[in-house]
Structure 1
Amino acid sequence: MKRRRRFARDGSLPRAPSPPRAAHCGALLASAANEQFFRGGATSTGLHGLAWLLLAVAAMFLLACAADRSLSRVGRDL
């Protein structure tokens, strides 16, 4: 079994792959939602507000998937 190089030829460490931009956007939106709902601390009211937001986002994704006509072609032989 061939071993991979731990260091580049110039002696530096190899660069790690960067996460996708969608992950960065999702982290920013989640942080903003946490700040908005838990402004005064972690309370039951803030948790319920965050749950309603997540239900609304899930409903939007469900509607987007239901409206996507290309999903009917998934799994068919072309």
Structure 2
Amino acid sequence: MEQFIRKWEKKRKLGKQKYILLYGVVLIGMSVTILLSLIDLIFNGTVSIVYLLGRILIFPTIGSVIADRRWEKNEKKYITR
């Protein structure tokens, strides 16, 4: 529990919006977008612009929802410790 508290206090200092932007949009959303685009490039030899634009819209949005839920869960755990 002490390890969680130390780690969460550092991440918590970012604030909710920056946390969601960094962990949700950038780390989750854009990582998945890049990974799937690379797979598309390897297997198809090209990346469809339509699919790329869709990925750029969809995966960061999904990542932000995941990060928001993770923030809420960690805040609840931190407060009720």
Larger radius of gyration: 1
Q: Could you state the TM-score of these two structures normalised by the residue count of structure 2?
A: 0.35
In terms of fraction of residues, the more helix-rich structure is 2
Q: Could you state the TM-score of these two structures normalised by the residue count of structure 1?
A: 0.36
Q: Which has the higher contact order (CA 8 A, sep 6+)?
A: 2
